[in-house]
Amino acid sequence: MTFEAAVITFPGSNCDRDMAVAIEKVTGKEPHRLWHGDAELPEKLDFIALPGGFSYGDYLRSGAMAARSPIMRAVVQAAERGVPVLGVCNGFQVLTETGLLPGALMRNASQNFICRTVELIVENNQTLFTSGYEAGEVIHIPVAHHDGNYFADDVTLDRLECEGRVAFRYAQPINGSRRDIAGVLNAQGNVLGMMPHPERAIEDVLGSSDGLRLFESAVGALIDA
Amino acid sequence: MKVRVLVRLKPGVLDPQGRAVHHSLEGLGFNGVEDVRIGRVIEMDVADNTSDETLDDMCRKLLANMVIEDYSIEKLDQVEPA
- Chain B residue closest in CA terms to A153: B67
pLDDT in tens, B22-79: 999 999 999 999 999 999 999 999 999 999 999 999 999 999 999 999 999 999 976 5
CB contact at 8 A, A151 and A106: yes
- Confirm or reject contact between A187 and chain B (CB < 8 A): no
Which residues of chain A are under the pLDDT cut of 50? none
Instruction: Give the model's pLDDT for residue B5.
Output: 97
CA angle A61, B25, A110 (to 5 degrees): 45
Distance separating alpha carbons of residues A177 and A151, to the nearest angstrom: 6
User: Catalytic site residue A163?
Assistant: no
Indicate the CATH number for domain B2-76.
3.30.1280.10
What pLDDT does residue B66 have?
95
Residues of A in contact with B10 (CB under 8 A): none
The closest CB to that of A64, out of B14, B17, B62, belongs to B62
Residues in chain A: 225
Whether residues A108 and B16 touch (CB distance < 8 A) is answered with yes
Whether A197 is catalytic is yes
Residues of B with CB under 8 A from a CB of A: 13-14, 16-17, 20, 61-63, 65, 67-68
User: Which residues of chain A neighbour B67 with C-beta distances below 8 Å?
Assistant: 96, 102-104, 151-152
User: Do the chains contact at B67 and A102, CB–CB below 8 Å?
Assistant: yes
Residue B16's alpha-carbon distances to A87, A127, A192, B10, B22, in angstroms, are 25, 33, 26, 13, 10
Q: Secondary structure of chain A in the HEC alphabet?
A: CCCCEEEEECCCECCHHHHHHHHHHHHCCCCEEEECCCCCCCCCCCEEEECCECHHHHCCCCCHHHHCCHHHHHHHHHHHHCCCEEEECHHHHHHHHHCCCCCEEECCCCCCCEEEEEEEEECCCCCCCCCCCCCCCEEEEEEEECCCEEECCHHHHHHHHHCCCEEEEECCCCCCCHHHEEEEECCCCCEEEECCCHHHCCEHHHCECCCHHHHHHHHHHHHHC
The distance of B40 to chain A (nearest Cα, Å) reads 9
Which domains does chain A carry?
5-224 (3.40.50.880)
Q: Which residue of B has its CA nearest to A175?
A: B16
Looking at chain A, which residue has its C-alpha nearest residue B14?
A109
Whether B81 has a pLDDT exceeding 80, the answer reads no
Helices (H), B1-82: 16-27, 52-58
Q: Is A63 on the interface with B (CB under 8 A)?
A: no
Q: Are A5 and A45 in contact (CB under 8 A)?
A: yes
pLDDT given at position A222: 78
Name the nearest CA neighbour of A84 among A128, A123, A42, A40. Answer: A128
Residue of A nearest to B65 (CA): A97
Q: Show residues of chain A in contact with B20, CB under 8 Å.
A: 111
**What pTM was computed for the model?**
0.93
Q: Is B61 exposed, middle or buried (0-12, 13-18, 19+ CB in 10 A)?
A: exposed
Q: How far apart are CA A90 and CA A166, in angstroms?
A: 18
Nearest CB neighbour to B68, from listed A68, A106, A176? A106
What was the ipTM of the complex prediction?
A: 0.83
Contact B14 A176 (CB under 8 A): yes
What residues in A contact B14, CB-CB < 8 Å? Answer: 106, 109, 176
**Is the predicted pLDDT of residue B82 greater than 60, yes or no?**
no
- Residue B16: pLDDT band by 50, 70, 90 thresholds? confident
Report A:84-123 residues touching B (Cβ under 8 A): 96-97, 102-104, 106-111
Spatial CA neighbour of A25 closest among A205, A216, A221, A218: A216
- Check pLDDT > 70 for residue B80: no
A169: β partners: A121, A181
Catalytic residue among A15, A36, A89, A97: A89
